[in-house]
Amino acid sequence: AQSVTQPDIHITVSEGASLELRCNYSYGATPYLFWYVQSPGQGLQLLLKYFSGDTLVQGIKGFEAEFKRSQSSFNLRKPSVHWSDAAEYFCAVGARSSASKIIFGSGTRLSIRP
């Protein structure tokens, strides 16, 4: 069965510190992988996606993620967080078809310590 696991429900980091949000997936084939960010009361914004090729993908707002097939992971990283990065982050996996359904992880809430 397809699933996405985000083991950290809530993370607090200091402003300027580095960040890593974990994501593990279970999928029958090579999936599409996504990270979305959601600010309170807002929709979801795509940070980055992995389809194929280079396993280190760059996204918006200084985020990057690395696809590790051997570990079934797609962790999100940022070298230095800003107070505006406080939000909910969702990892998601989808199939490589035009009518695919994306499965979301349960999310990780990021708080920033001043």
Partner 1 sequence: DAMVIQNPRYQVTQFGKPVTLSCSQTLNHNVMYWYQQKSSQAPKLLFHYYDKDFNNEADTPDNFQSRRPNTSFCFLDIRSPGLGDAAMYLCATSDGTNGYTFGSGTRLTVV
Give the separation between CA 1 and CA 98, rounded to whole angstroms: 20
Q: Which of residues 33-62 bind partner 1 (CB under 8 A)?
A: 34, 36, 41-46, 49, 51
Cβ at position 78, least distance to partner 1 in Å = 19
Give the SS3 label for residue 98. Answer: coil
Question: Which residue, 25 or 34, is less far from partner 1 as judged by CB?
Answer: 34
Give the separation between CA 97 and CA 95, rounded to whole angstroms: 6
What is the bridge-based pairing of β-strands 24-26 and 44-50?
unpaired
Cβ at position 101, least distance to partner 1 in Å = 6
Question: Which residue, 17 or 56, is less far from partner 1 as judged by CB?
Answer: 56
CA 66 to chain centre: 10
Binding-site ranges for partner 1 (CB under 8 A) = 32, 34, 36, 41-46, 49, 51, 90, 94, 97-102, 104-107, 109
